[in-house]
């Protein structure tokens, strides 16, 4: 099972075949992160085809399903053997108005396998739920995903709401998603940004003072 084939299975939306293909690649000893990378390349191509109007919403939905099937197999294999003893608590979620959760789920799995304690609020999460969860758990880090240009402003809403209730300097806010970059993230009030989930874990470790 080569990486190009895995990328192709995502692009061709082979929802019934992807799990077996990922399993085969793992059985051959391929690195789980390289497999993840080949799947992400496929998702990027799906996005490009959608932009070019070669694919429509049905295909986007199916691509999402295909990625989820792949991830069911891949998730345990991404587990890090070098588990940290410190259980830093992290709240993750996708911002209000946004129903993309694949990237957020990948980040969550990687964080979990790196020894963090994760509270996943899901998608379409507003500032009040985040505040509630911080108070309930004492989480030190909030990691938010925003995939839509339209919803990145929600990061600012969360930042302001945290300030209003006096929690802003008690938590670190890290964000990610394609419409964001470090400059925009900081402008919106976040402390940090990372391009992808693997880098996200490194940044979060730094924010938590682990590395």
Phi and psi (nearest 5°) for 66?
Answer: -65, -45
Query: Judged by CB under 6 A, does residue 120 bind ligand B12?
Result: no
Residue 178 binds ligand B12 (CB under 6 A): yes
Among 3, 12, 50, 89, indicate the residue that binds ligand B12 (CB under 6 A).
Answer: 50
CA–CA distance, 122 with 104 (Å, rounded to integer): 9
Strand partners, 173: 142
Helix axes 57-77, 18-27, angle to 10 degrees: 30
Phi first, then psi, for residue 157 (nearest 5°) are: -60, -45
Give the DSSP H or E segment for 119: strand 117-120
> How many other CB atoms are found less than 10 A from the CB of residue 19?
18
Residue closer to ligand B12 (CB basis): 27 or 39:
39
Identify any residues that bridge with 21 across adjacent strands, giving them in sequence order: none
Q: Which of 71, 143, 75, 139 is nearest to 113 (CA)?
A: 75
Contact call for residue 69 and ligand B12 (CB under 6 A): no
Q: What angle do CA 157, 159, 165 make, to 5 degrees?
A: 100
Choice from 17, 34, 44, 86 touching ligand B12 (CB under 6 A): 44
Binding mask 191-210 for ligand B12 (x = CB under 6 A): ---x-xx--x----------
Q: How far apart are CA 32 and CA 137, in angstroms?
A: 31
- Interface with ligand B12, residue 147, by CB under 6 A: yes
> In the complex with ligand B12, which residue's Cβ is closer, 25 or 94?
94
Is residue 43 at the binding interface for ligand B12, with CB under 6 A as the rule? Answer: yes
Whether 20 and 35 have beta carbons less than 8 Å apart is answered as no
Site string for ligand B12, 91-110 (x = CB under 6 A): ------xxxxxxxx-xx---
Binding residue (CB under 6 A) for ligand B12 from 6, 158, 175, 207: 175
**Binding ligand B12 by CB under 6 A: which of 31, 34, 136, 149?**
149
Does 189 engage in binding with ligand B12 (CB under 6 A)?
no
Q: Tell me if 179 contacts ligand B12 by CB under 6 A.
A: yes
Binding footprint of ligand B12 on the chain (CB under 6 A): 40, 43-44, 46-47, 50-51, 57, 60-61, 63-64, 97-104, 106-107, 143-145, 147-150, 174-179, 194, 196-197, 200
């Amino acid at each position: 099972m080569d990486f190009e084939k895995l990328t192709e299975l995502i692009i061709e939306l082979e929802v019934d075949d992807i799990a077996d293909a990922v399993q085969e690649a793992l059985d051959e000893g391929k690195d789980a992160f390289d497999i993840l990378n080949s799947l992400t390349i496929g998702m990027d191509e799906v996005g490009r085809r959608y932009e070019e109007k070669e694919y429509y919403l049905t295909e986007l939905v199916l691509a999402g399903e295909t990625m989820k099937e792949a991830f069911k197999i891949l998730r345990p294999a991404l587990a890090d053997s070098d588990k940290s003893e410190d259980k830093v608590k992290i709240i993750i979620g996708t911002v209000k108005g946004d129903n993309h959760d694949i990237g957020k789920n990948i980040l969550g799995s990687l964080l979990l396998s790196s020894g963090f304690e994760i509270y996943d609020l899901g998608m379409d999460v507003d500032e009040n739920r985040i505040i509630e969860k911080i108070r309930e758990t004492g989480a030190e880090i909030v990691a938010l995903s925003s995939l839509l240009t339209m919803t990145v402003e929600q990061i600012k809403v969360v930042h302001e709401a945290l300030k209003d209730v006096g929690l802003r300097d008690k938590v670190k806010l890290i964000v990610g998603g394609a419409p964001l970059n470090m400059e925009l993230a900081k402008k919106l009030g976040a402390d940090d940004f990372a391009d992808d989930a693997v880098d996200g874990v490194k940044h979060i470790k730094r924010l938590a003072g682990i590395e």
